[in-house]
Amino acid sequence: MLQLDSCLEIAKSAALLAGKYIKDQQNQDLEILLNEGRDIKLQIDVDVEKIITEYLSLHSSFPILAEESGISEKLGEIYWVVDPLDGTSNFLRNIPISCISIALMTDIEPILGVIFDFNNDDLYFAHHNSPAYLNDNKLSVSSISLKSDGTLVTGIPAKKNYSDQEFKNMISDFQVWKKIRMIGSAAMAAVYVASGKADAYSENRIFLWDIAAGAAIVKAAGGKASIQNLTSDFRVDAKFTNNNI
């Protein structure tokens, strides 16, 4: 039987260990490995991922899907998903909206999530048999039921070309909401929904590792999380709401 409480403690410890390393490196010169188009990769992404995956491998037997290194071995029914630094561009530019994200999956269903907002020492966590927490406090989604009163957090998919129709559809959707926010971190967007700071998050063609942990936390906080249209390179269409809107 899967011991979710034990798995949660493993993921929390891995996130905190990695977060300590990131904070120790924040005032250092950051080595840029890739800066092409809309993609940015830093050496710290690779280093932090290694810390997390080594810890998970030492304390559990599940395979790992990670942003930088890919699949550790053939993914079974249960596997970890790791984003070592969600919001890399923010981190590089010293915008304090970035985090570490670790999820445990059953097929395409996130059953456990840990997100460490190391900028604020805030640890968000949950599994599907527990409430959602921010540190020692339980989280709950908002009660807002109208888009005209609500805040949508979203992003623009990282690709080179967009059709006019895509932008028309996007603007049409934006106009029904009271406020729109683009913050540069899908994982942080998810915990804003889980904690009632925002009412929905939606983004298409986002990578699974960006949103997996957040999905588990949103659901545990009373929200709804939809993950659809998984592609071979692990992109998905994600939509999280407070379940009222």
Domain coordinates in residue numbering, the chain: 4-138, 147-241
pLDDT tens profile 108-146: 999 999 999 999 999 999 999 999 999 999 999 999 999
pLDDT tens profile 80-106: 999 999 999 999 999 999 999 999 999
Which CATH fold topology does 4-138 show? Answer: Fructose-1,6-Bisphosphatase; Chain A, domain 1 (3.30.540)
- Out of 3.40.50.300, 3.60.20.10, 3.40.190.80, 3.40.50.720, the CATH code matching 147-241 is 3.40.190.80
Q: Which of 8, 82, 98, 10 is nearest to 48 (CA)?
A: 82
For the chain, percent of residues with pLDDT exceeding 90: 78
- CB-based burial, 63-81: b 16+ in 10 Å, e otherwise: bbbbbbeeebeebeebbbb
pLDDT tens profile 152-167: 999 876 666 778 887 8
Q: Are 209 and 101 in contact (CB under 8 A)?
A: yes
